[in-house]
Structure 1
Amino acid sequence: MGFIYEGLIKAFQLLFDGNPETWSAVYITLCVSTLSIFFTILIGAPLGFILGYCRFKGRDTLRMITDTLLSFPTVVIGLLVYSLVSRQGPLGEFGLLFTLPGIAIGQVMLGMPIVVAMVANAVENADSGMKETLLTLGADKFQLLRATLWEVRYHLMLAGVAAYGRIVSEIGISMMVGGNIKWHTRTITTAIALETGKGEFAMGIALGVVLLIIAFGVNFSVAKLKRRAGQ
């Protein structure tokens, strides 16, 4: 147990002393995760709304595919994105391999099913009485659409927070597509795996503490949004 105690002491020293290698991984993680969640919501929220609001042929099949993708392994997504952005892949000419935008592509693929599924479910379960009341009062389709969007606003934020929690803690995509390059693509999770493998427990614990703080913030936000959504 002694090495764990020593590791904790050194970990907090690294954090409070502003160790550049430690905070570089934190900064890179926040940058790529923010980029990823922006495009995840930008693309996933409209798709989820359409899937939950509209009725069309093949809708149930799309819902089943979306639900299946919720448990898609990150290493498989990493392999898929790697094959797309590698030099021999269809996107190889853009030089996305071992870059933050390359990682973001994979993380968007990881987070999008969460946003699509949660938004679609929220729209489906929106207050049916509200819709009937608005139609009775003569509301047109645009007004009904706007009212439904307002009704599920907290569910949309909840979907974004849940997707962010999944994105910020993944390792497979960051490792395979980013290459774990120091100062460039090394994220918190890949740095923890590397430093622990090298026996540098202090660095791993320091980054683990930061990741736990982020996870706590995500869970706290989820709890708040769930209470708001239940109002």
Structure 2
Amino acid sequence: MTDILEGLRQAFLLIIGLDADLVEITLRSLQVTLSAVFIASLIALPLGAWLAIRRFPFRRAVIAVLNALMGLPPVVVGLFVYILLSRSGPFGVFGLLFTPTAMIIAQVIIITPLIASIAHQSIRDLWAEYHDLLLSLNTTKWQRIKTLIWDARRALLTASLAGFGRAIGEVGAIMIVGGNIDHATRVLTTAIALETGKGDFALALGLGFVLIALAIIVNLLIHGISRTERRGRW
């Protein structure tokens, strides 16, 4: 019990004192995750809108596969990206393995289905309301997609924040493609695993508190946006 309390005390001092390692790891985590969320949103939001308004053969099957990919095992994604970026892989010439770029690629693959699925559900409901109006105005499919994305922007922001929440806590794929290299690819989750294994519970707890704080902030944002969205509909 004494060791735990001492670890908590040291962790608190690290956070209050803005420990250099703690700050560096936190900033790198935010850089990687925010980049991944931005790229994934650029892909997933138009995809979700397109699936909501477009009718084509096997559309239901595509949506079912997209929903299934929400539970894609991160370690499998990490292995897949590792093979692609390794020296013997098709993209090995770019030297991206064990870099933040490789970590971003893995996170994009993991969270794109999640964001796209939530976006599809939100825009599908909105499309039911706007269908007749947009058709009567003789809009193109791209104009419909832009209109739906803009009017569903709060719900879509919630989708992106959900992707952020999943990406910031990811460890398996990040460990495989990033390598947990100090001052290069070490992020909150991989650092917590490393410091715990080394017995440095103070730093591990400090990193854990920061990670929990980020998760709480994201969930509060999602809750606030959801309430705002509901009021807007009323």
| TM-score normalized with structure 1 length | 0.94
Q: Aligned to 2:71, what secondary structure does the other structure show?
A: coil
Cα distance in 2 for residues equivalent to 1:19 and 1:145? 46
Which position in structure 1 is the counterpart of 2:84? 84
Cα distance in 2 for residues equivalent to 1:42 and 1:145? 13
Cα distance in 2 for residues equivalent to 1:134 and 1:200? 59
- Deviation at 1:59? 1.1
Which position in structure 1 is the counterpart of 2:111? 111
Change (3 A) 1:127 1:92: closer
Q: Aligned to 1:22, what secondary structure does the other structure show?
A: helix
Change (3 A) 1:146 1:45: closer
Change (3 A) 1:89 1:196: same
Letter in 2 for 1:18: L
Per-residue Cα deviation, 1:40-92 (whole angstroms, up to 9, x for no partner): 11111111111112111121111111111111111111111101101111110
Query: Quick check: 1:139 aligned with 2:119?
Result: no
8 Å contact 1:43–1:112 — kept in the other structure? yes
Per-residue Cα deviation, 1:202-221 (whole angstroms, up to 9, x for no partner): 01100001001100111001
Change (3 A) 1:75 1:6: same
- Deviation at 1:19? 1.8
Unaligned runs of 5+ in 1: none
8 Å contact 2:45–2:156 — kept in the other structure? yes
Which position in structure 2 is the counterpart of 1:211? 211
Letter in 2 for 1:51: L
Cα distance in 1 for residues equivalent to 2:103 and 2:23? 19
Query: Quick check: 1:149 aligned with 2:149?
Result: yes
Identity over the aligned pairs, expressed in percent? 37
8 Å contact 2:70–2:113 — kept in the other structure? yes
Q: Aligned to 1:123, what secondary structure does the other structure show?
A: helix
Which position in structure 2 is the counterpart of 1:159? 159
8 Å contact 1:53–1:120 — kept in the other structure? no
Letter in 1 for 2:137: A
- Deviation at 1:115? 1.0
8 Å contact 1:131–1:144 — kept in the other structure? no
Per-residue Cα deviation, 1:155-184 (whole angstroms, up to 9, x for no partner): 110110000000011001111000000011
Cα distance in 2 for residues equivalent to 1:95 and 1:74? 22
**Where in structure 2 are the equivalents of 1:117-136 lying within 5 Å?**
117-126=117-126, 128-133=128-133, 135=135
Q: Over aligned residue pairs, what C-alpha RMSD do you find?
A: 1.5
- Deviation at 1:127? 5.9
Q: Aligned to 1:48, what secondary structure does the other structure show?
A: helix
Q: Aligned to 1:180, what secondary structure does the other structure show?
A: coil
Which position in structure 2 is the counterpart of 1:46? 46
Q: Aligned to 2:57, what secondary structure does the other structure show?
A: coil
Cα distance in 2 for residues equivalent to 1:145 and 1:170? 31
- Deviation at 1:229? 2.5
Cα distance in 2 for residues equivalent to 1:188 and 1:41? 22
Letter in 1 for 2:114: I
Unaligned runs of 5+ in 2: none
Per-residue Cα deviation, 1:100-141 (whole angstroms, up to 9, x for no partner): 001000000011001110111111111634433555xx4222
8 Å contact 2:161–2:222 — kept in the other structure? yes
Which position in structure 2 is the counterpart of 1:25? 25
Which position in structure 2 is the counterpart of 1:193? 193
Which position in structure 1 is the counterpart of 2:70? 70
- Deviation at 1:193? 0.3
**Where in structure 2 are the equivalents of 1:158-177 lying within 5 Å?**
158-177=158-177
Letter in 2 for 1:60: R
Which position in structure 2 is the counterpart of 1:16? 16
